[in-house]
Chains A and B, each alone.
Chain A
Amino acid sequence: MTLEVIGISVLWVFLFGYIMVASIDFGAGFFNAYSTLTGRAHVLAKVIQRYLSPVWEVTNVFLVFFFVGIVGFFPKVASYYGTVLLVPASLALILLAIRGSYYAFVTYGGLRGKRYTLLYGLSGLLIPASLSIVLTISEGGFVSRQNGALVLDYAALFTSPLTWSIVVLSLTAVLYISAVFLTWYAREARDSRAEALLRRYALLWAGPAILTAAGIMVELRAHNPGHYARMLEVWWLFALSLLLFGRSVYLIWKKRQYGTAFLLLAGQFFLAFFGYGLSHYPYLLYPYLTIYDSFTSETMGIALIIAFIAGLCLLIPSLYLLFRLFLFDPDYLQGKRDNHA
C-alpha cells in the first residue's frame, strides 16, 4: 500500500464513522421534533436524551477529524474545495451550531422551547443535505476555472438531478439508520412504547432508503460514466450490501435480535460506501484532483500515520469505556441512574 492509499483509507474510515454516528444523532433529533409536533414527545424524548447527550461532542469530533485530516494528508484539497465550498460549508456550519447550542442550552442548560426543538430537528435533515453536496461536487462537472480562479456553477448544481438524488438519499439513509439503532436502544432500555414506534419508523424508511440508493446509480450513469463503469466492476460489493439489507429488515420485521439487525445495517452501509469509495478512487475531485497529485510531503505523510496509530491506542480504550458506561450499562439505559452533574 502506498502512503496515499493509507491516508485516504484512514480518512475514509472516519468519514464512515461520522456518517453512522451522526445519522443516529440527526435522525433522533428529527424523530424527537416530529413526535413533539404530534404530541408524543414523552415516548421518545427519554431514549434520545439518555443516548445522545453524553456522546454528541464525540460525534462532532469525527467530523473535525475528517476535515483536519484531509487537509493534512491532501493539502491541495484546501485550495480546491476551500474556495468552492465557502457557501455550502458555511451553511452547514451554522446548522451544526444550531444543534450544538441545542445541547448546550436545552439539554444542559434547561431552557425549554418548542420552537427550538423543532429547529433542532429540522437541522438534522438540513445538515446531511448540505454536507452531501460535497459528494455531488466531487463527481465533477460543477467546478470550472475562470481567470485562474475556481468557481462553482450553482445553477448547474441545483438543477442537476444527481444533486437531488444524493440529497434525498442522505435524508432517507439518516432516518433509516437512526430508526434501526434507536429501536435496538429502546429495547435495551425496556421502553416498549418507544420500541414499537421506532420499529415502525425503521420499516417505513427501509424502502425509500434502498430505492434512492439505487437511483443514484442511474443518475451517475448519465453524469459520470467513468465512475459508473468502475462501480459495475465492483458490483459484488453492492450485491452483498443488498443481502445484508434484506436480512436486517427481516429481523426487524420479525422483532428479533435488533442488535444483530443494526450490525447488519452497519455492514450494509460499510460495503456500499466502500464500493462507492473504491470506484471513486483515485479522484478527490473529478477531473482536477487525485490522491496522488495532491498528497502531502512524504515525511509529513509518515508523521501523520504514526500520530494516527498512537492516537488510536489512546482512543479505542476510551471509546470502549464510554460505550460500556452509556450504551451497554443496563441500569443507565433503563434510567435507573441519574448521575448528571
Chain B
Amino acid sequence: MGAESSVWFSRLLTELTLSFHIIYATIGVGVPLMIMLAQWVGIRNGDEHYILLARRWTRGFVITVAVGVVTGTAIGLQLSLLWPNFMELAGNVIALPLFMETFAFFFEAIFLGIYMYTWDRFKNPKKHLLLLVPVAIGASFSAIFITIVNAFMNAPQGFDVVDGQLVNVNPLVAMFNPAMPTKVAHVLATAYMTSAFVLAAIAAYRLLKGSHHVYHKKALLLTMKLGLIFSIASAIIGDFSGKYLAQYQPEKLAAAEWHFETEKNASLIMYGVLADGEVKYEIRIPYALSILAHNNPKAEVIGLDQFAKEDIPPLYIHYLFDIMVTIGVGLLFLSLLFVIGTWRGWRFVAAGWFRRLIVLGGPLAIFAIEAGWWMAEVGRQPWILRGIMRTEDAATTSTHVDTMLLLFAALYLILAIGSITVLTRMFRHNPVERELADRGGEHR
C-alpha cells in the first residue's frame, strides 16, 4: 500500500467511523432533552404515563450512549492516528474546544450514571429530574464543542503562518470563527429534531401494531409537537447557514446548487441530474438562490467560474443537499399537519397511512443528518483546513490503514446488529401495558 492509498483508506475509515458515530451522537444529544421534558410534564401534571415514558426512553438511551461512547472514543483517537499532520496543527490552534469537550463528557457520564441508578430513590421526584439537567447540558455542550472544531476546519482563523511556523495563535478567535454560530445552532436544532422524530416513530409504530393505549397517544403528540418546533428552527437556521456559505465558502454553495456562472437574480436548482456538464430534469425556482444567499432576489451569487478547477468540491453534493432539504421540509409539514389535525380533530391523522409516514420519519431524519454532514464535509474538499491544508497532505504515511478499515467495518457491523437486537428485545419483552399494571397504574 503506497502513500496515495493511505490517504484514500484514511478517508474511507474516517467517513465510516464518523457516519456511524453521528447516528448515536445525534440521539445522545437530543434524547436527554426529550426525557427531561417528558419527566417534567409528568411531574407537573401528576401524570404517571409521562414519567414512565421518561423511564422507558432512558433505558433505550443508555444503550445508544454506550455505543456512542465506544465509537466516539474510536474517532477521537483515529483523528490522531489517521490525520497526524492535521492534528499537530489543530493541537496548536483549536485544541481548546476539544479539551473542553472531554469535560462535557465527564460531566454527562457522571450524572448519567447517577440518574440511571436513582429512579424512585428520592422522596421528591423533582430532585431526580434535576439530576438529568447536567446530562442534557453535558450532551449539548459536547456537540457544541466538537462542532466548533469542525467549524474551524471550514473557516480557520486565529493564527498566522510565517515561514511555515505558526505564530500569533489566539484560541478564542479560532473558536469564534465565522462558521461557528450557524453550524453549532444547526447541529443542535437538527439533533433535537431528529430525536423527536425517532421517538415519535416508536410511538406511531406501537399504535400501528394495535396498541390503543393512551400512553402511546400522549407520547406521539408530545414528540410531534417538539418535532414541529425543532424542524421550524432547523429550517430557519439552515437558511442562515446558506448565507454563511455565500459569504465565506462560496465554492461549497455553488457546488451544492450547481451554480456555474456568477450572476445576479440567480435561480435555485432543485433535483435534476448532471450529465456531461449539462443539468437536466431540474426544477428552477427563479430568484430563490439569490434569496437563500443574500436575502435579496437581485443579489449577485458567486459561481464556480471564480475558482480554479482543483479547488472545486465534488458536484454530487447537490444530491445530498436536496435530500437534506426535502426531508427537512417534508417532516416540517408532516408534524404541522399532525399537530393541527389533532387539535382540530381531523380523522386522517389517526389513520394507518399517516402513522406509517410518521414511522418513516424517524429513519428519514437520521438520513437527513447523514446527508447534511456528507454535504458539509465533502463540500469542504479538497481542503481539510480550508485554504490552509489539503486533505492529501494531512494523512498518515502508515501502510496498514486498509486492514484497519476492514477491522473497524466488522466492529461497526457487530455494534449495529447488537444495538438493534437489544433495543427491539427490550421493548418487545416488556410492553407498556404490563409495566403500567406492575406499577399499579390503570388499564385501558
Q: For the complex, what is the distance from the CA of A97 to the CA of B169, rounded to whole Å?
A: 36
Nearest-Cβ distance from residue B17 to partner chain A, whole angstroms: 10
**Which of B322-330, B339-347, B362-370, B401-409 binds A?**
B401-409
A321 touches B67 (CB 8 A): no
The verdict on A326 contacting B113 (CB below 8 Å), with A89-B77, A101-B66, A339-B121 known, is: yes
The yes or no answer to B16 lying at the interface (CB within 8 A) is no
Partner of B421, one of A55, A71, A91, A111: A111
Among A63-82, those with CB < 8 Å from B are 63-65, 67-69, 71-82
User: Contact mask B130-151 → A, CB, 8 Å, 1/0?
Assistant: 0000100000000000000000
B415 touches A101 (CB 8 A): yes
A300 touches B117 (CB 8 A): no
Nearest-Cβ distance from residue B11 to partner chain A, whole angstroms: 15
Q: Which residues of A contact B (CB under 8 A)?
A: 53-55, 57-58, 60-61, 63-65, 67-69, 71-87, 89-91, 93-94, 96-97, 100-101, 103-105, 108-111, 149-150, 296-297, 299-300, 303-304, 307-308, 311, 314-315, 318-319, 321-322, 325-326, 332, 337, 339-341
The verdict on A64 contacting B102 (CB below 8 Å), with A58-B110, A297-B166, A299-B170 known, is: yes
B114 touches A303 (CB 8 A): no
A300 touches B98 (CB 8 A): no
A82 touches B87 (CB 8 A): yes
The verdict on A307 contacting B99 (CB below 8 Å), with A61-B109, A67-B80, A322-B110 known, is: yes
Nearest-Cβ distance from residue B10 to partner chain A, whole angstroms: 10
Nearest-Cβ distance from residue B162 to partner chain A, whole angstroms: 13
The verdict on A69 contacting B99 (CB below 8 Å), with A104-B66, A297-B169 known, is: yes
User: Contact mask B36-62 → A, CB, 8 Å, 1/0?
Assistant: 000000000000000000010011001
Partner of B113, one of A58, A64, A80, A104: A58
Nearest-Cβ distance from residue A250 to partner chain B, whole angstroms: 34
**B280: which A residues are within 8 A, CB to CB?**
none
B95 touches A300 (CB 8 A): yes
**Nearest-CB residue, chain B, relative to A320:** B110
Q: Is the interface of B mostly helix, strand, loop or mixed?
A: helix
The verdict on A75 contacting B90 (CB below 8 Å), with A297-B166, A315-B106 known, is: yes
B67 touches A57 (CB 8 A): no
**A339: which B residues are within 8 A, CB to CB?**
117-121
Extra A-B contacts (4), CB below 8 Å, given A87-B404, A307-B100: A64-B102, A97-B70, A105-B421, A318-B111
The verdict on A75 contacting B87 (CB below 8 Å), with A68-B102, A307-B103, A318-B111 known, is: yes
Q: For the complex, what is the distance from the CA of A69 to the CA of B100, rounded to whole Å?
A: 10
**Nearest-CB residue, chain A, relative to B112:** A57
**A325: which B residues are within 8 A, CB to CB?**
114, 117-118
B70 touches A96 (CB 8 A): yes
Q: For the complex, what is the distance from the CA of A104 to the CA of B70, rounded to whole Å?
A: 10
Partner of A300, one of B73, B96, B396: B96
**B404: which A residues are within 8 A, CB to CB?**
86-87, 90
Partner of B109, one of A57, A80, A97: A57
**Nearest-CB residue, chain A, relative to B412:** A97
**Nearest-CB residue, chain A, relative to B395:** A83
B396 touches A318 (CB 8 A): no
B66 touches A75 (CB 8 A): no
How many A-B Cβ pairs are below 8 Å? 242
**Nearest-CB residue, chain A, relative to B414:** A101
Partner of A69, one of B62, B69, B102, B419: B102
Q: For the complex, what is the distance from the CA of A93 to the CA of B70, rounded to whole Å?
A: 8
The yes or no answer to B214 lying at the interface (CB within 8 A) is no
The verdict on A296 contacting B70 (CB below 8 Å), with A65-B106, A79-B84 known, is: no
**A77: which B residues are within 8 A, CB to CB?**
80, 91
| Most chain A C-beta atoms within 10 Å of own C-beta, residue among B83, B103, B407, B429 | B103
**Nearest-CB residue, chain A, relative to B421:** A111
Among B71-107, those with CB < 8 Å from A are 71-74, 76-78, 80-85, 87-93, 95-96, 98-103, 105-107
Q: For the complex, what is the distance from the CA of A340 to the CA of B76, rounded to whole Å?
A: 30
**A67: which B residues are within 8 A, CB to CB?**
76-77, 80
**B419: which A residues are within 8 A, CB to CB?**
104-105
Nearest-Cβ distance from residue A46 to partner chain B, whole angstroms: 14
Q: For the complex, what is the distance from the CA of A83 to the CA of B395, rounded to whole Å?
A: 9
| Most chain A C-beta atoms within 10 Å of own C-beta, residue among B112, B121, B401 | B121
Q: For the complex, what is the distance from the CA of A94 to the CA of B77, rounded to whole Å?
A: 12
The yes or no answer to B181 lying at the interface (CB within 8 A) is no
What are 15 of the A-B contact pairs (CB < 8 Å)? A71-B98, A72-B91, A78-B84, A78-B91, A79-B88, A80-B84, A82-B80, A86-B82, A86-B404, A93-B74, A93-B77, A104-B67, A300-B169, A326-B113, A340-B119
The yes or no answer to B418 lying at the interface (CB within 8 A) is yes
Nearest-Cβ distance from residue B33 to partner chain A, whole angstroms: 17
B103 touches A315 (CB 8 A): yes
Q: For the complex, what is the distance from the CA of A84 to the CA of B80, rounded to whole Å?
A: 11
Among B367-400, those with CB < 8 Å from A are 396-398, 400
**A61: which B residues are within 8 A, CB to CB?**
102, 105-106, 109
**A57: which B residues are within 8 A, CB to CB?**
65-66, 69, 109, 112-113
B170 touches A58 (CB 8 A): no
A86 touches B398 (CB 8 A): yes
**B77: which A residues are within 8 A, CB to CB?**
67, 89, 93
The yes or no answer to B337 lying at the interface (CB within 8 A) is no
B84 touches A83 (CB 8 A): yes
The verdict on A93 contacting B73 (CB below 8 Å), with A82-B87, A100-B67 known, is: yes
Q: For the complex, what is the distance from the CA of A299 to the CA of B174, rounded to whole Å?
A: 12
For the complex of A and B, 8 pairs with smallest distance between CB atoms: A75-B91, A72-B95, A82-B84, A104-B66, A109-B422, A78-B87, A100-B70, A311-B103
Nearest-Cβ distance from residue B436 to partner chain A, whole angstroms: 16
Q: For the complex, what is the distance from the CA of A93 to the CA of B73, rounded to whole Å?
A: 8
Partner of B98, one of A54, A72, A94, A341: A72
Q: For the complex, what is the distance from the CA of A93 to the CA of B21, rounded to whole Å?
A: 14
A76 touches B88 (CB 8 A): yes
Q: For the complex, what is the distance from the CA of A74 to the CA of B87, rounded to whole Å?
A: 10
Nearest-Cβ distance from residue B350 to partner chain A, whole angstroms: 30
**Nearest-CB residue, chain A, relative to B134:** A318
The verdict on A72 contacting B66 (CB below 8 Å), with A60-B73, A299-B171, A341-B116 known, is: no
The yes or no answer to B444 lying at the interface (CB within 8 A) is no
**Nearest-CB residue, chain A, relative to B418:** A105
Q: For the complex, what is the distance from the CA of A194 to the CA of B103, rounded to whole Å?
A: 35
Nearest-Cβ distance from residue B173 to partner chain A, whole angstroms: 10
B76 touches A64 (CB 8 A): yes
**A85: which B residues are within 8 A, CB to CB?**
81
Q: For the complex, what is the distance from the CA of A336 to the CA of B85, rounded to whole Å?
A: 53
**A65: which B residues are within 8 A, CB to CB?**
102, 106
The verdict on A72 contacting B99 (CB below 8 Å), with A96-B73, A303-B171 known, is: yes
A303 touches B96 (CB 8 A): yes
Q: For the complex, what is the distance from the CA of A269 to the CA of B92, rounded to whole Å?
A: 32
Partner of A105, one of B55, B59, B63, B84: B63
